[in-house]
Amino acid sequence: MPLRFTKMHGAGNDFVVLDLRGDLPPPDAALCRALADRHTGVGCDQILTVETPQARGALARYRIFNADGSASQQCGNGARCVAAWLVRDGAADGDFVLESPAGLHAVTRAGSGYRIAMGVPDFAPARIPMAGIESAQPLYTLPVEAVGELALGAVSMGNPHALIEVDDVDAADVARIGGALQASPWFPESVNVGFAQVLAPDRIRLRVFERGVGETLACGSGACAAVAVLARRGRITRSVAVALPGGGLQIDWPADDATLSMAGPAAFVFEGELSG
C-alpha cells in the first residue's frame, strides 16, 4: 500500500513525518534508509512517527529514527515539527504535552513557531553515558584515536552530547573529529558532537555532527546541550540565541535545576505518497 508522509523541517533539520496513530507498526531500518535517501527516496535527516500516547496527559507520542535506521531518544527540532503537524491536523489547540522516548515535553506557541520544554540537562557521566569516568566535570580532556587529545564538555538531553568550543566554527573539522569521537570507547552509545563559537554572552554559533546522520543544518537537542555546557562553565548567559547553518533557535535555562526550553520554527514542505 502507498505510504503517506509529510516532509517538514525545523531550521533546516529535515524530517519525514508518518502518522502511525491507531497502533500501526513503526518503520523498520530498511524503510527508514529508503525514506531518508536523498536520491531515490524522500530525503531527510530523521523519520518522525506520530503515535497514540502511552503516558497519561500526553496528546501524542512521537519516535525518532535516524537516516541509517537507528533509533534516537530525542530531537528538539522534530518535537516542534510534530507539534505543528498536530495543530494543522486539528488534534491540538493551545498548549499541550508530547511524549518522546526521553519523556514528556510541554509545548507552547512562540510567535510563528513553538517552544518545547526539553527537561533538565544531566551531566552525570553514567547518564550520558560516558565510559571510564566517575564524576561530572565542566571540561574533559580525552585522548581520541586519529585526532589526539580533545577538550570537551558532555551532557545528556535525553540523548548524549559532546561539545567542543572553537575559535571559528567555519574552520572546524566537523566530520573528522565528530566521526572519531563517535567511534571512540568514551561514548559506548555513540554521541552527537557539537562545535560552538561564542560570539557574545547571549549569542553563539553551532555546528553539529549527529550520530546516525552526519552533519545536519540544525540540531535542537544539540543547541540545548551547547547552551547547558557553556552556561555551566560561565561562558555565556542563560538566555542565548543559537545560530545554526539552517537557522536560529532561542534557548533559555533559568537555573541548573530548572527545565531548559527551546523555541524556533517548524515548516511544512510537501505531502506525498511513497509506493513500491
pLDDT recorded at residue 269: 98
In angstroms, the CA 72 to CA 70 distance is 7
**Cell 505518497, residue?**
273
**Cell 518535537, residue?**
79
Instruction: Please tell me what DSSP assigns to residue 26.
Output: P
Strand 96-100, strand 60-66: pairing: parallel
- Those residues whose C-beta lies under 8 Å from the C-beta of residue 60, and which sit 6 or more positions away, are 21, 50, 51, 52, 53, 82, 86, 91, 98, 99
pLDDT recorded at residue 276: 62
pLDDT recorded at residue 138: 95
The conformational region for residue 13 under phi > 0 = left, psi -120 to 50 = alpha, else beta, is beta
Query: For the chain, how many residues are written?
Result: 276
- The CATH topology of domain 140-258 is Diaminopimelate Epimerase; Chain A, domain 1 (3.10.310)
pLDDT 10s per residue in the chain (276 long)?
678 999 999 999 999 999 999 888 999 999 999 999 999 999 999 999 999 999 999 999 999 999 999 999 999 999 999 999 999 999 998 899 999 999 999 999 998 899 999 999 999 999 999 999 999 999 999 999 999 999 999 999 999 999 999 999 999 999 999 999 999 999 999 999 999 999 999 999 999 999 999 999 999 999 999 999 999 999 999 999 999 999 999 999 999 999 999 999 999 999 999 876
Q: Which CATH class is domain 3-119+265-274?
A: alpha beta
Look up residue 116 and give its three cell numbers: 518545547
- According to CATH, where is 3.10.310.10 located in the chain? 3-119+265-274, 140-258
pLDDT recorded at residue 1: 67
Q: Phi/psi at 180 (nearest 5 deg)?
A: -65, -40
Look up residue 150 and give its three cell numbers: 580533545
- Name the residue among 267, 264, 276 with its Cα closest to residue 115: 264
Instruction: Please tell me what DSSP assigns to residue 270.
Output: E
pLDDT recorded at residue 225: 98
In angstroms, the CA 35 to CA 272 distance is 12
pLDDT recorded at residue 106: 97
- According to DSSP, the residues that pair with 150 across neighbouring strands are 142
Give the residue numbers marked as catalytic. Answer: 75, 219
pLDDT recorded at residue 242: 98
- Name the residue among 86, 83, 26 with its Cα closest to residue 220: 83
- According to DSSP, the residues that pair with 141 across neighbouring strands are 151
pTM of the entire predicted model = 0.94
